[in-house]
């Protein structure tokens, strides 16, 4: 969505979130790879709000640290929604103001865009996002006039029986004419039982100035779902996960079992990728065309080029070249760059290493802090011994080398190109180009040794 509107978003994120029972501020709890408030910020940015204003309070330092590319204002005391918006007064000018909540992560940019078009077409003073709920208890009810505009918003505790049977409720999300909101905020009072400044009172003030107050009803109540505890966070996560999977499938990704596939919002997947059951794709992962992922594979912050096949493996912060195979049961720790048509086989662990095109580590091998060239074969049980007890060191195996089974490469050491290392060798010094390195005790067979042992 590339719409550019003159909108300032004010996102209320100052609440404590006691019902989360957590040291973490409520709005920083994550679903599908992003914190709740990041989902809200991204939706606002998608409709053209360049630098949303985030109102913070409880856990302010943690929120400042976690969230970037926004403006912050501080609400020292939580004295109601109207009071929270007052803190952003310097950013409320003659443009339109969108008020959102940091704990409503499911509100989508598409819905906000539809709502804004409705708001501008009607030239309303305020537009309220509403929804019909089967059980509206606890929510403010929308009372409409004969023209279909909002006559009043009646809080549940103040509602009589006639009002309580209304199913349309107030989400608390609004578009305001900025000039009118600024005037209304100056007129808000806290003359109520709670001693708080309510943003809903601003609607009545704007209405009294002759502006229409409209309701934009969403047909998807999930859009306005607030998260107040871990159960609701789980429910919101499930809805978000379903949206993400649907989007990928409609864009050409085959997902064999959606109920057992978990993909973060930030993951990018090209068409004709197949995701098998039990996969978890996280963070800034990018998967190019024709890859096959899984089953039971976790990938985080990694780039997989075309035609990669990864199964039953963990891949973290690594780059994997075209047509390379990974697994089963491989563990790629952070920092690897693996070339094209390579093989990282079963029970291979690799970290912070370069691994060249057409090279193979087929099974039971550890490659750490290494540089492996092209067309290299690492036999079963090869270990790059990279740690001396104090520091990590680098081992280099150049192009076209063959390293036999159960070889230890004690770094720092280099095996020059076109060389062979015999099985069972411990390499402690550089191997010259085109050489055969053997570093093991010569075999000796002592015939009759067992009989002598038994006769002792």
Output DSSP code: residue 163: H
What is the reported pLDDT for 442?
A: 86
Backbone dihedral region for residue 217 (phi beyond 0: left; psi -120 to 50: alpha; all else: beta): beta
- Quote the CA–CA distance of 216 and 113 in Å, as a whole number: 11
As given in the structure block, the two tokens for residue 438 are 């053997």
Interval 54-60 mean pLDDT: 96
* pLDDT tens-place string over residues 263-308: 999 999 999 999 999 999 999 999 999 999 999 999 999 999 999 9
Q: Give the CA dihedral 195, 198, 203, 209, nearest 10 degrees.
A: 40
Backbone dihedral region for residue 290 (phi beyond 0: left; psi -120 to 50: alpha; all else: beta): left
| Angle, CA of 259, 265 and 267, to the nearest 5° | 95
Interval 10-36 mean pLDDT: 96
User: Is the pLDDT score of 3 beyond 70?
Assistant: no
Prediction pTM value: 0.93
Contacts of 280 (CB under 8 A, 6+ apart): 262, 297, 298, 299
As given in the structure block, the two tokens for residue 399 are 């192009």
User: Is the pLDDT score of 1 beyond 80?
Assistant: no
Classify strands 96-101 and 254-255 as parallel, antiparallel or unpaired: unpaired
Return the SS3 of 314: strand
The class level of CATH for 7-224 reads: alpha beta
Q: How many CB atoms lie within 10 A of CB 132?
A: 14
What is the reported pLDDT for 306?
A: 98
Q: What are the respective helix, strand and coil percentages of the chain, to the nearest 5?
A: 25, 30, 45
Output DSSP code: residue 380: T
Overall residue count recorded for the chain in this entry = 456
Domain 233-437 has CATH 3.30.360.10: no
Cα–chain center distance at 74: 26
* Residue 390 pLDDT class (50, 70, 90 cuts): very high
* Residue 230 pLDDT class (50, 70, 90 cuts): very high
| Angle, CA of 131, 98 and 247, to the nearest 5° | 60
Preceding omega of 295 cis (within 30 degrees of 0)? yes
Interval 366-393 mean pLDDT: 97
User: Is the pLDDT score of 416 beyond 60?
Assistant: yes
What is the reported pLDDT for 156?
A: 87
Whether 199 and 99 have beta carbons less than 8 Å apart is answered as yes
- Quote the CA–CA distance of 141 and 149 in Å, as a whole number: 13
Domain boundaries, the chain: 7-224, 233-437
- Quote the CA–CA distance of 205 and 188 in Å, as a whole number: 8
Sign, CA torsion 332/333/334/336: negative
Radius of gyration of the chain (CA): 31
Return the SS3 of 164: helix
What is the residue whose two structure tokens read 């990864």?
310
Contacts of 381 (CB under 8 A, 6+ apart): 364, 365, 405, 406, 407
List, in sequence order, the alpha helices (H) in 216-325. Answer: 230-250
Interval 242-246 mean pLDDT: 98
- Quote the CA–CA distance of 421 and 439 in Å, as a whole number: 9
Whether 407 and 424 have beta carbons less than 8 Å apart is answered as yes
Preceding omega of 328 cis (within 30 degrees of 0)? yes
- Quote the CA–CA distance of 97 and 85 in Å, as a whole number: 10
Active site positions, annotated: 363
What is the reported pLDDT for 155?
A: 87
Sign, CA torsion 241/246/265/111: negative
What is the residue whose two structure tokens read 């905020």?
185
* pLDDT tens-place string over residues 65-94: 999 999 999 999 999 999 999 999 999 988
Cα–Cα separations (whole angstroms), residue 114 to 354, 377, 402: 49, 58, 62
What is the reported pLDDT for 441?
A: 86
* pLDDT tens-place string over residues 154-208: 988 889 999 999 999 999 999 999 999 999 999 999 988 788 999 999 999 999 9
């Amino acid at each position: 969505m590339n719409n550019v509107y003159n909108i300032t978003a004010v996102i209320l994120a100052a609440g404590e979130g006691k019902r989360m029972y957590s040291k973490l501020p409520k709005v920083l709890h994550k679903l599908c790879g992003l914190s709740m408030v990041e989902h809200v910020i991204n939706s606002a940015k998608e409709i053209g709000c360049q630098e949303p204003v985030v109102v913070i309070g409880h856990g302010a330092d943690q929120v400042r640290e976690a969230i970037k590319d926004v403006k912050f204002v501080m609400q020292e005391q939580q004295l109601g929604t109207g009071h929270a918006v007052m803190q952003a007064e310097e950013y409320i000018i003659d443009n339109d103001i969108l008020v959102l909540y940091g704990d409503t992560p499911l509100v989508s940019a598409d819905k906000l865009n539809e709502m804004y078009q409705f708001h501008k077409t009607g030239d309303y003073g305020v537009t309220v996002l509403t929804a019909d709920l089967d059980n509206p208890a606890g929510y403010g009810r929308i009372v409409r006039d004969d023209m279909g505009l909002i006559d009043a918003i009646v809080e549940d505790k103040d509602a009589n029986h006639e009002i309580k049977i209304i199913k349309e409720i107030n989400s608390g999300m609004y578009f305001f004419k900025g000039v009118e909101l600024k005037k209304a905020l100056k007129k808000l009072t806290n003359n109520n039982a709670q001693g708080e400044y309510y943003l809903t009172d601003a609607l009545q003030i704007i209405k009294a100035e002759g502006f229409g107050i409209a309701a934009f009803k969403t047909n998807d109540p999930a859009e306005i779902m607030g998260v107040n505890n871990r159960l609701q966070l789980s429910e919101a996560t499930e809805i978000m996960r379903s949206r993400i999977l649907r989007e990928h499938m409609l864009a050409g990704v085959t997902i064999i079992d959606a109920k057992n596939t978990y993909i973060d919002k930030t993951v990018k997947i090209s068409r004709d990728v197949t995701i098998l059951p039990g996969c978890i794709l996280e963070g800034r992962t990018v998967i190019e065309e024709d890859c096959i992922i899984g089953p039971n594979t976790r990938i985080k912050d990694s780039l997989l080029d075309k035609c990669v096949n990864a199964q039953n493996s963990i891949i973290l912060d690594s780059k994997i070249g075209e047509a390379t195979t990974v697994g089963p049961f491989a563990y790629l720790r952070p920092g690897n760059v693996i070339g094209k048509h390579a093989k990282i086989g079963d029970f291979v662990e690799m970290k912070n290493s370069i691994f060249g095109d057409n090279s193979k580590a087929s099974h039971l091998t550890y490659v750490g802090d290494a540089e492996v060239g092209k067309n290299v074969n690492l036999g079963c049980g090869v270990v790059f011994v990279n740690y001396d007890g104090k520091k990590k060191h680098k081992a280099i195996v150049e192009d076209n080398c063959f390293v036999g089974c159960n070889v230890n490469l004690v770094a720092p050491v280099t095996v020059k190109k076109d060389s062979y290392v015999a099985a069972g060798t411990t390499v402690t010094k550089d191997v010259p180009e085109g050489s055969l390195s053997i570093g093991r005790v010569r075999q000796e067979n002592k015939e009759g040794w067992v009989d002598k042992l038994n006769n002792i």
